[in-house]
Amino acid sequence: MIYVVEMDVNIPESWHEEKIADYLSREKVCSQEHQKSGKWIYLWRVAGRYSNISVLDVSGPDELHSIISSLPLFPYMNIKITSVCKHPNALRDLMI
């Protein structure tokens, strides 16, 4: 199943620079592992915001939740998930 996931990150203002750096480092490692697995197909930054739009190809909602909730910054995100499928008028499939 293909999901479009929008993640808005809200790092607490009370965090010190070292804590932020630690979380960002762990977030990078975790998200890149999922990308290398082939499950996290696309990752785009939203210009002007601390947000991203991602496309994941997973077996279903349980696997999607497992991947998203494994992110260190998961507790500090507002997340919108949309399940999508190929449109009958589309000229091509998702480019993987």
> Long-range contacts for 58-67 (Cβ within 8 Å, ≥24 apart)?
58/1, 58/3, 59/1, 60/1, 61/1, 63/39, 64/1, 64/3, 64/5, 67/34, 67/39, 67/40
Global pTM value: 0.89
What is the CATH classification number for the domain harbouring 57? 3.30.70.1060
**Domain assignment of residue 48, yes or no:** yes
Instruction: Answer yes or no: is 96 within a domain.
Output: no
Residue 69 lies in a domain: yes
For the segment 4-51, what is each residue's pLDDT rounded down to a tens digit?
999 999 999 999 999 999 999 999 999 999 999 999 999 999 999 999
Q: Identify the domain containing residue 30 by its residue range.
A: 2-84
